[in-house]
Amino acid sequence: MESADAGAGEKAACLSAAQRRAEIRRRKLLMNSEDRMNRIVGYTKNESEINAGTLLRPAEPRFHLDLDRTEPWSSASSSSRPSPFLPEASGLVSRSHGATPERGGSPMPDCSEPLAGFLEDNIGSIQQRPRGERASDELSGSPRPGLQKYLSRFDDAMKLRGQLANEKPAQDGGGSDTEEFDPFRIFRLTGSILLAVFVRVFVCTFLSIFAPFLTLELAYMGLSKYFPKVEKKAQTTVLTAALLLSGIPAEVINRSMDTYRRMSDVFADLCVYFFTFILSHEFLLLIGSETP
């Protein structure tokens, strides 16, 4: 009876030692897989942090050793999870490793129970893992978002390249001047011409010629909503493509282009107005010089 008990105890001790060795081997493999994954993704940013972390906290285990795990993973991961590629089994390994010292003297039947318990705990922790993993990713700046960002930028670049290639023949056919004569634009130019003539004939002796022009532009701003809005196709030029790829949001670019378009419209109105004014002035001088 006693010999049987002693044999069982030795077996348990051997098993625990063997188990320990197996766990150590498994941990080594898992650690390597993590390093491998990090190298594939190009995760070298936090290597120094990991080293610093391990140096600063040598006592704190890299793998979480919480046996009675009920809280979510994130609280543990925030403290000791620099890499997102910590496998779930490491929890199991750490737990079983952590468990064995505490229950070092327990007989064999008891060892199986904690393992089953660890499995159940791990299932719960795995389910809770995504939240924790996300938090760890956010906190530690994992390579996955960086990789995704790079891939999304690459896709954008390929799409823009295709768009540029498609729009280039259209632009070449239309010429470099991309101004379009929609009804409102024609109305503006006609209004500027008529106002210039009117100002030259009646108004210019009393005040500056630019005052009526400014009034006209203010009126145009109010009248623009009464005209049908022409949907101008957003042209992808090399400049807009470069701005997009450099990280400037498309909305900002569109707004800037819209502002630039408005300013160019006002400039065109001013040029037409001034030109017509000078022309009418010279014409009146010519008539005045010719009349006896």
- Interface of this chain with another protein, residues 224 to 243, rule: CB under 8 A: none
271 binds another protein (CB under 8 A): yes
Compute how many other C-beta atoms are within 10 angstroms of the C-beta atom of residue 203.
14
Q: Which is nearer to another protein, 154 or 210 (CB)?
A: 210
150 binds another protein (CB under 8 A): no
* Main-chain dihedrals φ then ψ at residue 228, nearest 5 degrees: -65, 135
Q: Which is nearer to another protein, 23 or 182 (CB)?
A: 182
Measure the CA–CA gap between 252 and 261, rounded to whole angstroms: 14
Structure tokens at 148: 């995704």
| Segment near another protein (CB under 8 A); pick from 6-14, 30-38, 176-184, 212-220 | 176-184
- Interface of this chain with another protein, residues 238 to 267, rule: CB under 8 A: 267
What are the start-end ranges of the H helices in the chain?
Answer: 2-41, 47-56, 73-80, 88-102, 108-140, 143-174, 183-198, 210-223, 238-245, 250-290
Min separation Cβ 204 and another protein, Å: 5
Q: Which is nearer to another protein, 79 or 208 (CB)?
A: 208
292 binds another protein (CB under 8 A): no
Measure the CA–CA gap between 61 and 270, rounded to whole angstroms: 74
| Segment near another protein (CB under 8 A); pick from 59-67, 87-95, 171-179, 239-247 | 171-179
Of 103, 99, 104, 108, the C-alpha closest to 7 is 108
Q: Which is nearer to another protein, 4 or 287 (CB)?
A: 287
- Interface of this chain with another protein, residues 198 to 217, rule: CB under 8 A: 204, 208-210
- Residue 230 is given by DSSP the state P
Structure tokens at 162: 């295709």
Residues that bind another protein (CB under 8 A): 175, 177, 179, 181, 189, 204, 208-210, 267-268, 271-272, 274-275, 278, 281-282
